[in-house]
Structure 1
């Protein structure tokens, strides 16, 4: 599954990122925020309008806003347990 469809409140690990699908500057920003292979993440919130943008993603102890298109480039595996 990809990060954009991960249910709110569930924890997952990023297993792959389609870096070529992202603009290089966006890829560097996401890496700087810790959104890369191996990172543990959870969806905290989705926007309420049209495309549900932006999404609030918890990475470690911080929460970052990402576009749904960026989250769609990240393949994740859900971790055991229901919560984050």
Structure 2
């Protein structure tokens, strides 16, 4: 499943990313934020308009807004929730 298909609030791990479908500068920016293979994320919000943009994801203690095309480039697998 891709990140944009993940149910809201479900913890997941990014298992792969198709960086070739993104503009290189955008891919670099996402990686700099820690959004890459192996990262644990949670979908926090989807936009309400037709395109459903932006999508807010939680990664660590950050919440990052990404475009749906970015989230669609990431394959994820749900993981068990961890308690802090």
- The two structures have a TM-score, normalised by structure 2, of 0.94
1:59 CA displacement: 0.4
Structure 1: any 5+ residue segments left out of the alignment? Answer: none
Structure 2: any 5+ residue segments left out of the alignment? Answer: none
Give the superposed CA RMSD.
0.7
What is aligned with 1:51?
51
What do residues 2-42 of structure 1 show as CA deviations (whole Å, max 9, x unaligned)?
00000000000000000111100000010011100000000
Number of residue-to-residue matches in the alignment: 81
1:6 matched to 2:6: yes
1:80 CA displacement: 2.3
**Deviating 4+ runs (over 6 angstroms):** none
How far apart, in 2, do the equivalents of 1:23 and 1:51 lie?
19
